[in-house]
Amino acid sequence: MVARVTHVAVDPKDIEEATRLFDESVVPAAEQEEGFMGALLLVRDNGEAIAVDLCDTLEHLQQNEHSGFYQTQIAKFADKLVGTPSREFYDVKVAKGVEGGPELLQAAE
């Protein structure tokens, strides 16, 4: 399993809308990509965010980028971004205990 970690910043006033867009548009589109295994969005109150998407192989992540999919998803946030997003790739060595999707978040509220 591999992870693409994207570092972004949005205007703090756009956090709610950017989160909704990630949840309702980016994730459903990513679920259609070959090898998709999950996604996380981590956000600070100042608008700094990290998006983590998990994929079964590096080759599938690279296909995702070469097809323009990743760039299309980033473009959805163009009017909300502060600065330029950056991304890194990691091998996932441990992935345990994260289950439940939206239900997990609702239970924590």
Domains, the chain, with CATH or none: 2-92 (3.30.70.100)
DSSP classification of residue 81:
B
Closest CA to 62 of 81, 34, 82: 34
pTM above 0.75, yes or no: yes
Q: How does pLDDT run across 38-79, given as a tens digit for each residue? A: 899 999 999 999 999 999 999 999 898 888 888 888 888 888
Spatial distance between the Cα atoms of 38 and 27, rounded to a whole number of angstroms: 8
Spatial distance between the Cα atoms of 103 and 77, rounded to a whole number of angstroms: 25
| pLDDT over 50 at 109, yes or no | no
State residue 49's pLDDT score. 96
Residues of 72-104 as b/e, b for ≥16 C-beta within 10 angstroms? ebbeebeebbeeeeeeeeeeeeeeeeeeeeeee
Q: How does pLDDT run across 80-102, given as a tens digit for each residue? A: 889 899 999 999 988 876 665 55
